[in-house]
Structure 1
Amino acid sequence: MAEDLRLTGVSKRFASFTAVDGLDLTIAQGEFFAVLGPSGCGKTTTLRMIAGLEDPTEGSIHLGDLDVTHKKPYQRPVNTVFQNYALFPHLTIFENVAFGLRRRGVKDVKRQAGDALDLVELGHLAGRKPAQLSGGQQQRIALARAVVNRPKVLLLDEPLGALDLKLRRQMQIELKRIQMEVGITFVHVTHDQEEAMTMADRVAVMNHGRVEQLGPPSELYETPDTTFVANFLGQSNLVPVRRAGTDGDHVVVETHGQKVRVRRARCVEANDLLLGVRPEKVRILAESERTSPHLNVLTGGVVLDASYLGVSTQYLVRMPWGQNLTVFAQNLGVGERFRDGERAVLAWEPDHGFGLAGDADAGVDDELVAAKG
């Protein structure tokens, strides 16, 4: 597949601070690509360099065969949609969308602007002013205004950040639909993991100016390469363990006298490890319940908190060594519900875990670090 966008050794330094550090990225034509990371990780700076709003300190940026590293923003086949939409308040919705077409001297403005409004399903509001529209409608108009110019790449800088939760989820679906219909390459910068996983074909998780891991959302979630990715993309239980041997395709690890297994292919080569398992992969059982011999089992847990969330119940379980582990138990209407103070056993499939090295709190919000105990 043809390359739409290629960043090679791109760095950006502001005085002594390195915002982006030797970034290499190749984004395929027609791909919905997300750059995900916390504030200050370099994702917006990366987008601004692609748009031509910042000059790289080092490296090169290509759009197809065109080297745009030092070209002005208007010389690049790129459009950007910002969080604040930046619509012209004195122009009608139609004229907002038609603005770029008129500047370029396009003759068939009425049809092209109308088609763009129909694409975002707001053709019936063409005569209104931006102030008469809701936040979600303004966001769609900003998108239509960008898409109508048929850029080679559309850059989206936290475009849904100003919307409430329900509307944001609706717009995630809409954005993906529009991208698939027009076939333009989308590069979407966000700190919202759900946005990235819902819409993107591939996700680059950034941390301190570098890409920690890049791949399809399911791959990053199921097999994180680092503790930062394991914590930032969803939640993970990370248990300190020590390698204790092997069992066929599995590595045997030990924590405080209890042994469990992790598939060798999902475990880094180290003696001291963090055994990771996602909360929804863990089953919470009563001490009297029999478990299958092939499951990993940790005993001696005590339920600290049980929060009913409708679709699931979230348990916080204190283990004998003082660590709190999280379990998301789907509310299927079978099995017992656990109350605070009850003793419990945790179990999971060995193939659902992963063994990593690093800081157990990397990528975790400070508030969650305190809650983990």
Structure 2
Amino acid sequence: MTSDLTLTGVTKSFADFTAVDDLDLTIPAGEFFALLGPSGCGKTTTLRMIAGLEEPTVGTIHLGDLDITHAKPYKRPVNTVFQNYALFPHLDIYENVAFGLRRRRIKDVKKQVDDALELVELGHLARRKPAQLSGGQQQRIALARAIVNRPDVLLLDEPLGALDLKLRRQMQLELKRIQTEVGLTFVHVTHDQEEAMTMADRVAVMNLGKIEQLGTPQELYETPRSTFVANFLGQSNLVEGTITASEADVVALDVQGRGVTIPGDRCMAVGGAGEPILLGVRPEKLKLYADGDPAAAGENVLPGGVVTDVSYLGVSTQYLVRMPWGQTLTVFVQNLVAGAGFAVGAGVEVGWQPVNSFGLRGDATAGVEVDPDELVVVP
């Protein structure tokens, strides 16, 4: 069993720029952990400090009782798998995997190399050169080369970024299978939300050098605690409102002149009646009803919407609905019946179960300044 990885008060500054800001983080032994965030959020710098490729300006890094803050990379029980794989082109696959063992002067490497290749299901390619392998196969060989050394922690630096979409999704499942079998601590850096949610036991969402929120994928998605997390991890509809009454179990809101409720334990806003709040609902949690449809009874309902765009996505249909106050809401409706749905220009009511909404501080901005390729924000 490996040791817990602990970062305490870690800060990394470059001249007048702080890449990582007073980071406290504990990753339990054997966990598949993901650092998720946009470019420039500090996730890769954090990984490089764990690997020993950067030294913290302030703070300490421990593996169990071992202080590795200033240890050389080769003296740490840590290995890294990079996006470009970094395989040796002149060596065959077997010798690529055996390289680290031979450097440590281990004489009998055959069983360990064979076991590592079997783990990634590529033992039959042992005598091929890297150039003869596909991108996904090279990625698995890089993983085998790192795992064969049995590090306490395996660092994954955007390892799937160079793969096409179909292969990337296949490798997400493969990586999780391998991690479960070997039981090592995996720390995975990515800007891909689906990748983090598919593989990780827990995810830390980073922004501006700090952790915005840490939790299981389900916790982060269902109950985001900031507008950054709500917008970065999937899509969210965020609507301005005001608290009208607040109790332990339920919070009542006025949203654009309409009364709605949310569960008390899903409300991150502070204060009582009169305080501003951002009501959040994920697009797939929303439903569309024809004006006055009695089926909406018992739900939170915002009337007066007009469908402005319809996009058929196969499994679901995406609707853009312009509301009376000028905001456009995104709604995903599962395609259960062929040919059903609303056309552009149709008048609709937008409804949802109260338990499927959350509340955020009303003094926070709903927008997030990050790379537009890494973020979907409801207009």
Report TM bin, short chain. Answer: over 0.9
Q: Which residue of 1 aligns with 2:80?
A: 80
Deviations for 1:146-204, whole angstroms, at most 9, x for unmatched residues? 00000000000000000000000000000000000000000000000001000000000
Deviations for 1:122-159, whole angstroms, at most 9, x for unmatched residues? 01111111011110000000000000000000000000
Counterpart Cα distance in 1 of 2:171 and 2:97: 19
1:251 to partner: Cα distance? 1.3
Letter in 2 for 1:7: L
Letter in 1 for 2:11: S
Letter in 2 for 1:8: T
Note if 1:169 corresponds to 2:169: yes
Q: Contact 1:302 / 1:319 at 8 angstroms: preserved in 2?
A: yes
Q: Contact 2:35 / 2:205 at 8 angstroms: preserved in 1?
A: yes
Q: Contact 2:39 / 2:370 at 8 angstroms: preserved in 1?
A: no
Give secondary structure in 1 for the equivalent of 2:121: coil
Give secondary structure in 1 for the equivalent of 2:139: helix
Counterpart Cα distance in 1 of 2:75 and 2:170: 34
Counterpart Cα distance in 1 of 2:290 and 2:81: 52
Counterpart Cα distance in 1 of 2:210 and 2:229: 12
Q: Which residue of 1 aligns with 2:224?
A: 224
Counterpart Cα distance in 2 of 1:275 and 1:291: 22
Q: For residues 203 and 288 of structure 1, do their structure 2 counterparts lie closer, same or farther at Cα, with a shift above 3 Å needed? A: same
Gaps of 5+ in 1: none
Counterpart Cα distance in 1 of 2:153 and 2:352: 43
Counterpart Cα distance in 2 of 1:106 and 1:116: 15
Q: TM-score, normalised by structure 1?
A: 0.96
Q: TM-score, normalised by structure 2?
A: 0.95
Which residue of 292, 295, 314 maps to 1:291?
A: 295
| CA RMSD in angstroms, aligned pairs only | 1.8
Report the more deviating stretch, 78-87 or 104-113. Answer: 104-113
Q: Contact 1:232 / 1:363 at 8 angstroms: preserved in 2?
A: no
Aligned-pair identity (%)? 70
Q: Contact 1:35 / 1:43 at 8 angstroms: preserved in 2?
A: yes
Aligned residues: 373
Q: Which residue of 2 aligns with 1:269?
A: 270
1:362 to partner: Cα distance? 2.3
Report the more deviating stretch, 214-223 or 262-271. Answer: 262-271
Note if 1:148 corresponds to 2:148: yes
Q: For residues 367 and 119 of structure 1, do their structure 2 counterparts lie closer, same or farther at Cα, with a shift above 3 Å needed? A: closer
1:246 to partner: Cα distance? 4.2
Within 5 A, what are the aligned runs for 1:88-237? 88-237=88-237
Letter in 1 for 2:239: V
Note if 1:329 corresponds to 2:333: yes
Counterpart Cα distance in 2 of 1:317 and 1:340: 9
Gaps of 5+ in 2: none
Q: For residues 369 and 96 of structure 1, do their structure 2 counterparts lie closer, same or farther at Cα, with a shift above 3 Å needed? A: closer
Counterpart Cα distance in 2 of 1:368 and 1:136: 23
Deviations for 1:295-349, whole angstroms, at most 9, x for unmatched residues? 1000000001110000000111000000000111011117931111111111001
Give secondary structure in 2 for the equivalent of 1:88: coil
Letter in 2 for 1:166: K
Counterpart Cα distance in 2 of 1:368 and 1:163: 17
